[in-house]
Copies of this chain bind each other. A is one copy, B any other.
Amino acid sequence: MTDKVRLAPIGLGRWARVLARGAQRGDVIELHSCFSRSADKRAAFQEEFGVPKSAATLDELLADGEVEGVIITTPNDTHRELIIAALEAGKAVYTDKPITHSLEHALEVRRAVTRTGGVFAVGHSARRLSGCRVMKEWLESGRLGDVSLAEANFSNERGLELTPETWRWYADKSPGGTFIQLGVHHADNLQYLLGPVKSVSAHARKLYTKSEVPDAVMAILEFESGALGYIGCGWASPGIYQVRLQGTKANLMYDLDFTHWDESHQADEWSSLVSQSYRDMTRASVDLPPTDMFREQLDEFASAIRGTAEIEVGVDEAIRALAVVRAALESSARNGAAVDIAPLLDDVGVAP
């Protein structure tokens, strides 16, 4: 028991509970403390997850020498301050995606990671879903051949249901709307699968949401490999989560009912991966070995704190995903003209 890695969530909303359940499915992590400004939330979280203590202030949490790392699930525009404070206090940091809401904030986070040498992980967990992992295996083994087109869509109804009480309503807190909240997942997935994006052409529109942010975004990505990618994100229609790869030898089509992904040990059961071979229109079901993305990502984070694992999605990978979002918004402001990724990465010190 004393060998477990002692972590503390910062922000105790719905997503903190999803991650806590993931951590508790493993046997690497002890949720040792927690912090929210709300005493009620702290008490409820301690009760629900058997957390021995809580901190009434951020300073109190960060001063707790027993806490080895924090799990941040607060609004995107608060990430920078919390991440840097935790790193400076010597804590390892896991933050939910996107790393920050802006590349400017991400630059400061990156400097803090470099300066402190702290363990830092970003919750781009979707690449760990079995369908994505199996697509990657097919790519690496050559079964797909050369990929020319990759299409992804992540959409839901959220934009129609936002209210001014939620931070996602506001353009300064969630620039890009559906694209920074949903599209950033596929910006990571597709770069995990196909390598770095070179440029992005996009159009973002605010059509049916009453909020300040886009609810319809389409982006074309050009990869360094030459392949073309597409990410479509709606926030004003029923839910979709799909990825399709078109290769010279085969196609793969992944489909997920993401309403089940909170319980990530069961998410694969709500997904399908089908393949299609050259000159064959029939679709064959591909086996999906079970995964548990939230448990795996948090176990990896905790193990990295102890030096027994490496972080798969760290600051640079997360910035590459955020840079696609930023490029898409800049391209949309330029009427779709492609925006290169390299200068954006260079601005924040990431090697293109």
Verify A227–B216 contact, CB threshold 8 A. yes
Q: Does A239 contact B (CB under 8 A)?
A: yes
**A220 located at the interface, meaning its Cβ lies under 8 Å from any Cβ of chain B in the complex:** yes
Whether the Cβ atoms of A149 and B234 lie closer than 8 Å is yes
Q: Which stretch in A64-72, A163-171, A199-207 binds the other chain?
A: A199-207
Contact indicator A201/B220 (Cβ below 8 Å): yes
Structural contact, A280 and B238, CB atoms closer than 8 A:
yes
Which residue of chain B is the closest to A215 with respect to CB atoms? B148
Chain A residues 259-294 with CB under 8 Å of chain B are 259, 276-281
- The stretch among A118-126, A318-326, A334-342 that forms the contact with chain B is A334-342
Indicate whether A24 reaches chain B with its CB closer than 8 angstroms.
no
Query: Contact between A246 and B251 (Cβ–Cβ < 8 Å)?
Result: no
Which residue of B is nearest A201, CB measured? Answer: B336
| Residue of B with least CB distance to A159 | B148
- Contact yes or no, A247 B251, CB < 8 A: no
- Cα–Cα, bound, A165→B220 (Å): 33
Q: Is the CB of B208 within 8 A of A248?
A: yes
Q: State which residues 202-231 of A face B: CB under 8 Å.
A: 202-203, 205, 207-208, 215-218, 220, 222, 226-228, 230
Assembled-state Cα–Cα distance A35/B251 (Å): 40
Q: Determine the residue in chain B with the shortest Cβ distance to A231.
A: B230
Confirm or deny: A237 has a beta carbon within 8 angstroms of a beta carbon on chain B.
yes
- The interface of chain A, by Cβ under 8 A from chain B, is 145-146, 148-149, 151, 153, 155, 157, 160, 199, 201-203, 205, 207-208, 215-218, 220, 222, 226-228, 230, 232, 234, 236-240, 244, 246-248, 250-251, 257-259, 276-281, 331, 334-338
